[in-house]
């Protein structure tokens, strides 16, 4: 009887182990894509919504989901392997989030930049994939933990290839990275793969090979600047950045810790003028900015990072040269600090370090020339925007685009509703 009981207990333990949570995996509807570009469907399973918590805003200390990214990747590419952000060049990204966290960043639940991870760990999202001229690394669709978290169990890599439209592929590929990532340039990382593939190739089938974009380390230099109140801002690197996506280390000192700031990549409108618009937005939940505040509003717990001693900070800023509204290859942009939304008219926190991109001379984008001098608002509340500004040659004039002027609504800490119309496509030369 004792032997039988022991056997039943062992069986029960084995059965419990067999019922463990499934490993995260991704299925992509098509992995050999026409070089003209196509939309593929990405289906994820086994992504535990509570697997990890973010370590930086906007979801520091909260379940932070995973980024679903189409781009080009070095080997190793994964955060768990110690790869820097520059090893992951983002072309298209969607953030897969648990329902509660999506409600924070996408209150209306309608933004195409987010998808909800169901309670069972699944999600489905469509991604547009197409080759990019001058790209380096291997094309693929990856997943990795969001908001600064690192979780090897949630990292997956699915290679994407581009062929002449004469190639037809029906394939579903699920690829999960293992902790041992190789440095081979011809094969993906060490993987566990389940693949069912049927491929018919016409005789004219070819694989496109875009010329590589050379990132010259000799022109990747750090730059520093002194801000409006004597604070110091350093960006490393500030030149030779990869326009498709890069990571730079931003450090500051001498800031007034009583004034919260955003660190972001924005259009440089000159001294005394708000640096805007910003790539990826410029608010507390913007895609390419970091919020630094030692005394944020009560509703912002976990969204802002505090200043260090003597008004210091150090953050890694992930950035790209352009989004739907700003193109820093056409206008002068800078990594900036500016007062957060609680004191947006306060120009004392302003500091800016102009940046340049690979293949671009640091002097090619010129500073816009102000035709009127900014004036100080009564009571010392900062400065108003100039009434007009004329870009130097090479900088197209700023224009408002009515087609992207849309209202936005969000909910406050007590359930109240706030609507701004328009909230996008605003004219950066008008501050009202």
pLDDT in tens, 250-294: 999 999 999 999 999 998 888 878 888 888 765 555 567 899 999
Q: List the Cα angle 411/413/415 in 5-degree steps.
A: 50
Tally the C-alpha atoms within 13 A of residue 24's C-alpha that lie toward its C-beta.
27
CATH of 213-373, one of 3.40.50.300, 2.60.40.230, 1.10.3720.10, 3.30.470.10: 2.60.40.230
Position 389 pLDDT exceeds 70: no
For residue 221, name the pLDDT band (cuts at 50, 70, 90). Answer: confident
What pLDDT is recorded for position 322? 84
Summarize the confidence of residues 207-216 as an average pLDDT: 47
pLDDT digits (tens, 9 = 90+) for 350-373: 999 999 888 766 644 333 333 233
Give percent of the chain above pLDDT 70: 64
Position 145 pLDDT exceeds 80: yes
Of 176, 141, 173, the residue nearest 156 (C-alpha): 176
Name the least confident of 68-77, 145-154, 321-330, 338-347.
321-330
What pLDDT is recorded for position 284? 58
CATH of 22-199, one of 2.60.40.1930, 1.10.3720.10, 3.40.640.10, 2.40.50.100: 2.60.40.1930
Domain boundaries, the chain: 22-199, 213-373
What pLDDT is recorded for position 432? 43
For residue 394, name the pLDDT band (cuts at 50, 70, 90). Answer: very low
What global pTM score does this model have? 0.43
Summarize the confidence of residues 73-86 as an average pLDDT: 90
Summarize the confidence of residues 191-214 as an average pLDDT: 42
Tally the C-alpha atoms within 13 A of residue 182's C-alpha that lie toward its C-beta.
8
Higher-pLDDT residue of 134, 54: 54
Q: Do domains 22-199 and 213-373 have the same CATH topology?
A: yes
246 bridge partner residues: 319
Summarize the confidence of residues 186-205 as an average pLDDT: 40
Q: How far is residue 378 from each of residues 87, 344, 382, measured CA to CA in Å?
A: 48, 15, 9
Summarize the confidence of residues 368-394 as an average pLDDT: 33
């Amino acid at each position: 009887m004792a032997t039988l009981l022991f056997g039943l207990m062992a069986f029960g333990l084995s059965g419990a182990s067999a019922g463990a949570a499934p490993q995260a995996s991704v299925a992509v509807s098509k992995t050999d894509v026409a070089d003209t570009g196509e939309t593929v469907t990405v289906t994820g399973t086994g992504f535990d919504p509570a697997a990890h918590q973010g370590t930086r805003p906007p979801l520091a200390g909260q379940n932070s989901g995973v980024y679903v990214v189409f781009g080009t990747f070095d080997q190793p590419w994964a955060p768990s392997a110690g790869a820097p952000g520059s090893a992951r060049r983002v072309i298209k990204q969607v953030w897969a989030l648990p329902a509660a966290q999506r409600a924070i960043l996408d209150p209306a639940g309608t933004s195409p930049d987010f998808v909800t991870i169901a309670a069972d760990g699944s999600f489905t999202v469509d991604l547009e994939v197409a080759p990019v001229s001058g790209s380096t690394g291997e094309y693929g669709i990856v997943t990795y933990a969001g908001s600064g978290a690192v979780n090897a169990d949630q990292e997956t890599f699915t290679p994407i290839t581009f062929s002449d439209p004469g190639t037809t592929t029906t394939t579903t590929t699920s690829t999960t990275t293992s902790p041992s990532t190789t440095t081979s340039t011809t094969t993906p990382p060490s993987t566990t793969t389940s693949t069912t593939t049927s491929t018919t190739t016409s005789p004219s089938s070819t694989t496109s090979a875009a010329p590589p974009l050379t990132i010259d380390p000799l022109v990747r230099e750090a730059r520093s600047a002194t801000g409006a109140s004597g604070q110091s801002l350093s960006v490393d690197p500030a030149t030779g950045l990869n326009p498709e996506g890069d990571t730079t280390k931003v450090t500051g000192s001498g800031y007034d810790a009583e004034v919260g700031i955003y660190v972001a990549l924005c259009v440089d409108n000159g001294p005394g003028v708000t640096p805007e618009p910003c790539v990826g937005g410029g608010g507390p939940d913007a895609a390419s900015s970091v919020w630094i505040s030692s005394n944020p509003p009560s509703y912002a717990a976990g969204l802002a990072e505090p200043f260090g001693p003597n008004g210091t900070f150090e953050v890694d800023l992930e950035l790209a040269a352009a989004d739907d509204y700003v193109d820093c290859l056409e206008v002068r942009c800078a990594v900036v600090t500016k007062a957060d939304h609680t004191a947006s008219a306060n120009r004392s926190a302003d500091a800016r370090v102009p940046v340049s991109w690979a293949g671009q001379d640091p002097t090619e984008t010129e500073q816009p020339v102000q035709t009127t001098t900014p004036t100080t608002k009564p009571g010392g509340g900062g400065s108003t925007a100039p009434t007009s500004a004329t870009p130097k040659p090479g900088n197209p004039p700023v224009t408002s685009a009515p087609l992207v002027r849309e209202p936005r609504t969000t909910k406050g800490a007590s359930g109240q509703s706030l609507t701004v119309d328009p909230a996008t496509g605003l004219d950066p030369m008008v501050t009202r």
